[in-house]
Structure 1
Amino acid sequence: MFKLDIDVDDGSLTKSAMELQRRHLPFVLLKTATNLAQLVKKGELSVMRKRIDRPIPTTLNSLFVRPATKDKPAQVWFKDSWTTGIPADAYLQQTVFGGVRPHKRFEKALIARGIMKSGQYALPSVSFLNQYGNVSRGLMTKVLSGMGAAETSSGFKANATGSKRSMAKGNRRYFGGVVGDEPGVWERMNTKWGAAVRPVFIFSDSAPVYRTIFPFFKIAENIVKAHKGQVFADAMDYALATARP
């Protein structure tokens, strides 16, 4: 998980601020940290929309703020677990830190089944990408099912069989192999010219390498640096204006 802790102490405050009623400082510091965290979240989402290609709503909604308490600093963090699927905290790692992309669950399943070599990566065909530039989870499940690679735990039945129900789903039309000189996952098709195949995934011997396009921590650092003084002053004004006599 990657997350940012935002803490504010009185060590960097101006002398005039220190001369204000010190009984307000604990509340003011917590409010300052929490408000800064909210600004960081807003700024991070703005950058994500600009730099990440068509981020899905789930990705944008996975960024949270935890308010500061007397025991813990404010935090800005990506959800690191889902009921199903891969959390944003995991699949955003390469955009935040850059570097070589590790194998995805889909690829690990293909490797475990012997359909793809351990050093290869499955690159999707453009025609199978959805509106967000990704292959849908449903299609990947169908592909794995059709090739007998979907069952990863005891008692879980997802692989295609010869039953009428299974055949009706059409998952058996997917297969792994080499067509021409290209290894990959293919879909059998019926056209007016006869039977044909088209690539769903092509296997590459080179690992995808990502550059850092979403420097999460640097963005947060700049936001905090730019707004810390004003946010503290606003919090102090609020505390003094609402304080009991």
Structure 2
Amino acid sequence: MFKVGFDLDSATALLQLDDIERRQIPFAQVLTATRLAQRVKKGVLPVMKARLDRPTPTTLNSLFTKAASTTGKPAEVYFKDSWASGIPADVYLQQAVTGGLRPHKRFEKALIARGVMQANEYAVPTAPFMNQYGNVSRGTMTKILSGMGAASLRAGYQANATNSRRSKAKGNAHRYFSAEVDGTRGVWERVSMGMGDAVRPVFIFSASAPRYRTIFPFFKIGENIVKANHAAEFAQAFADAKATAR
């Protein structure tokens, strides 16, 4: 979260203002902070598109602003921290913003809890299963977890594969399995061929955590935008506040 606070030194000629003008300063500061936050959001979006690897529409639409208030609360630019499902942007963008090792994803935690993966392993997707954004679809991951008995209980419904006729018809338990094939550990998919079944990897298990460098310096970008536009925004906000003074 990036915050845009109030600068009490924004008015360079406080001593020359009359009482009416002085009373407009708090409103001008609130307006300035809010407009600067909106500028930060506008300036950050093209950087996200340029530097992130194929950001999804959900990621780009996760950036929000919150107006400042006359009670002293600063304006905010932030990534939505919760969705109906999936991992929120403020979590999976942390490595792009700060760099460092990637933590385990929810999918990996489920496999570790089931004993499919070791606690120090990470699941790396293979190219055939990645979509246009470089991710494995949520549907495929759900099928894998279901087939391996690693799906969580959701709203009273257990998504794991069972021996029921309906579950067998879906075939997830047969289609996906974890094993070491030709020296490579991972999650594999059985593919029916004319002469029998073949297998191909969906995820490869790696013993080292993916490391990210800082490619999206969110806070530095925000600071630069605020510094470059603060004086002009305050001047305009002060003029607007005086024009609407009662």
User: Could you state the TM-score of these two structures normalised by the residue count of structure 1?
Assistant: 0.93
Other-structure match for 2:103: 102
RMSD: 1.8
Letter matched to residue 139 of structure 2: G
Query: Which residue in the other structure is 1:140 paired with?
Result: 141
More displaced stretch, 52-61 vs 180-189: 52-61
Shift of 1:153: 7.2
* Cα distance in 2 between the residues matched to 1:240 and 1:108: 56
- Give the corresponding residue for 2:151: 150
Q: Which residue of 1 aligns with 2:33?
A: 33
Deviations 1:139-195 (A, max 9, x none): 111001011111357954111122221122231210000011100000000123431
Runs of 4+ deviating beyond 4 Å: 152-156
Give the SS at the match of 2:144: helix
Pairing partner for 2:181 from 172, 179, 182: 179
Aligned to 2:86: 85
Secondary structure, counterpart of 2:151 in structure 1: coil
- Under a length normalisation based on structure 2, what TM-score does the superposition of the two structures give? 0.93
Partner of 1:206: 208
Residue deviations 1:72-93, cap 9 Å, x none?
1111111112222111111111
AA aligned to 2:42 is: K
**Distance (Å, rounded) in 2 between the aligned partners of 1:83 and 1:108:** 19
Percent pairwise identity = 62
Structure 1 counterpart SS, 2:33: helix
* SS of 1:11 mapped into structure 2: coil
- Bigger shift: residues 159-168 or 39-48: 159-168
Q: Which residue number in structure 2 is paired with residue 10 of structure 1? A: 8
2: CA distance, partners of 1:28 / 1:226? 18
What corresponds to 1:163 in structure 2?
A: 164
Other structure's SS at 1:50 match: helix
2:192 alignment partner AA: N
Q: For residue 17 of structure 2, what is the aligned residue in structure 1?
A: 19
1:215 to 2:217 alignment: yes
**In the aligned structure 2, how far is the partner of 1:94 from the partner of 1:86?**
14
What number of residue pairs does the alignment pair up?
A: 242
| Structure 2: tracts of 5 or more residues without a match | none
Aligned-residue offset at 1:13: 3.1
Could you report, residue by residue, the CA deviation over 1:105-153 in whole angstroms, capped at 9, with x for unpaired residues? Answer: 1111111111111111000011111111111111111001011111357
